[in-house]
A and B are shown apart, each in its own frame.
Chain A
């Protein structure tokens, strides 16, 4: 990768954008095909360039190809690529390679209770901002003495400042009042201590936003008892993984929440909990809501707000209809039924194609 190469001009010609599509493993290809179908149905001016990397490809070429494709187009929509635990440690997770090479430092997940989905908690509305490139996911482990493994968690000042800046900026733009930093600085005094200190420094520049911090064990307990107290949460990588999955569970499960990975120049959209779903692949029972909402986030990023809101309204209307809930929400609907219902919603209530959107 030629680091002196500045960002290429965006891939938008004749009003149509080009977006890289990485199907991934498990339910990824199936759900992304539904996304393509929906886009074709709504005449969304987005064309997909499909790059297949899955766990079966062993060479580096495929990975480089995918990364170059995302560099060219700037935006990608992806499914999760499975990482086999049994392979040697030199085989780094493909998703991780993608995130670190493109420097997608912020993973933003917005968990909201959706009307029509029955959950134990109501009125949950949390934005989770998770540092995506360092922390426990640095893939630096070694065994100096047999039977003793050292796993390095890296926290740097630069990246912590960057993610804190992103979190406060996002809070300000969305009109949020409170940012909570999640950490374990009582134990990892220097590591998470640095993270906390960076957050405090950045917080000083945003006087209208209250900043507080909470230890991760307390946070998880509070989340399952009183999630309404949280507003925006910022945290390092591993806690982010745990907390985002907890919050996704609070609002209805992994099939409902989309996630976005933002970097300075690139953006990649996927489901929040990054599940491969191997056991339910190709059975037409997966919940397409998360992937469809992720594609709406992508449309918002491409500034096609009209299409994004049209599709989102249709999805929310469909989700509120209980007889179409898929198995993970306790219903008996199939994926295709949900997608069809979304399409029907759109063409009965959506704007006409030729009108200015």
Chain B
């Protein structure tokens, strides 16, 4: 398969026609020739690049190069143009791919050609750039985003970021800014963000900007996949836990009032509809990832109606999934069990505040807030961020923050965009650096800086030999 994408800095005007050829391993040269005759180069590419592309094409289709997967980068002569030529020669490998919670299940789908020679599955059809909204946030957010951008640049990832600096503490927040972010999200549907810090003092608004963003986009599900990093030992190794948290209601409804002076009433709202929605999300996630058990975390012995409704909704939805075991556990017991024996849990689903606590607890079990990625889903949108959300303002400017969480989250985002190859490239580079153990930031016990870590990741980004 020969796929080319011309990325000009002038955007859409300079885009070339894409041509994809799929050839079976047996008929490659023949088909390549017939396909070449059908290639339709846009007249917008100057002749220089046309010849460049064609020569590249012929070079790569020579018999000695036919049998494996190729990645070739060609830099054009004109300084303003950068041509990335992806060359994939693969069979009809078939795989269902999807958002990060998808994993190929144990029994792979049928492959249609007998000669499925490539060890790795064919990458997704990467044509033009994908646009993603980026909100760096506060604290070390901007530094982490810089890390992500550097790694993406080095890996030639076809993603373009649209940045918005929304921040409450730096007084860069307003309704207009929020609207801008929302419009951009509605167009791009995928975002990567840092933590937008909520100041402690009550300045007249009960709902923070981050809460408002979540509500407007209806990002009801927060998924934190807690995975032990290979090579970094903690008290609990080989942990594999998923925490699903309802993100729009519960204790975070921002409904508080003072009816009587000195007496504050803070309302926790639990609705049947949202509880069913999050329960269904949790069970669907478990089904897709091949998980066996979903545990609902609650405090229904005290909040009999509120958490009782949550439990009831979970139990109702559990009936639709006979193959998945459903259990429930009280939050206090759950926290204790998590620190003593976290291996008993598989997927956890819970309302908002308990989710916040358990997210951070579980992140601490595997190495801290710098290590765990997280994502938020609504029916239409997906937002990728770190699992435990802290601005870490003490580290601003000191170059000590750990970019692992943000990089792994960015890799998940690439998988959601169907860019499997790039996603694997980034996540494997990060995991390799951590496994080697030579470059570790302070929170993992080392002495390296953020930039050292990013440099190591960039050095480990896997390019296939030509």
Q: Which residues of A contact B (CB under 8 A)?
A: 2, 5, 8-16, 18, 29-30, 33-34, 36-37, 40-43, 47-50, 64-65, 68, 71-72, 336, 340, 343-344, 347-348, 352-354, 356
Contacts and interface: CB of A to CB of B under 8 A. Distances in A.
A301 to B, nearest CB: 16
A164 B94 CA distance: 42
A41 B379 contact: no
B45 to A, nearest CB: 16
A28 B283 CA distance: 28
Contacts of B59: none
Contacts of B18: 347
Contacts of A43: 124-125, 418
The 5 closest A-B pairs by CB, nearest first: A14-B382, A47-B98, A14-B377, A13-B377, A12-B379
13 contacts: A5-B319, A13-B221, A15-B379, A15-B382, A18-B288, A33-B110, A47-B99, A49-B287, A64-B322, A340-B22, A344-B20, A347-B20, A352-B15
B253 interface: no
B18 to A, nearest CB: 6
A187 B288 CA distance: 53
A14 B99 contact: yes
B382 A18 contact: no
B92 A8 contact: no
A8 B283 CA distance: 12
Interface centre among A10, A336, A340, A353 (most CB of B within 10 A): A353
Contacts of B124: 40, 43
B94 A29 contact: no
B277 A13 contact: no
B251 interface: no
Interface string B278-318: 00110110011000000000000000000000000000110
Interface residues of B, number: 54
B459 to A, nearest CB: 29
B378 interface: yes
Contact of B97 (A13, A40, A340): A40
A40 B19 contact: no
Contact of A352 (B92, B94, B128, B273): B128
B320 A71 contact: yes
Given A11-B280, A36-B109, A344-B38, 20 more contacts: A5-B316, A9-B280, A14-B378, A29-B110, A33-B94, A33-B109, A33-B112, A36-B94, A49-B287, A71-B320, A72-B320, A336-B92, A340-B22, A343-B22, A344-B20, A347-B127, A348-B19, A352-B127, A353-B130, A354-B131
Contact of B112 (A14, A41, A336, A356): A336
A319 B187 CA distance: 34
A14 B321 CA distance: 21
A344 B416 CA distance: 24
B189 interface: yes
A219 B285 CA distance: 50
B185 to A, nearest CB: 11
B94 A65 contact: no
Q: Which of A9, A13, A34 has the largest count of B CB atoms less than 10 A from its CB?
A: A13
A20 to B, nearest CB: 11
Given A29-B110, A71-B320, A72-B321, A16 B127 contact: no
A68 B321 contact: yes
A288 B288 CA distance: 27
Nearest to A13: B377
B323 A18 contact: no
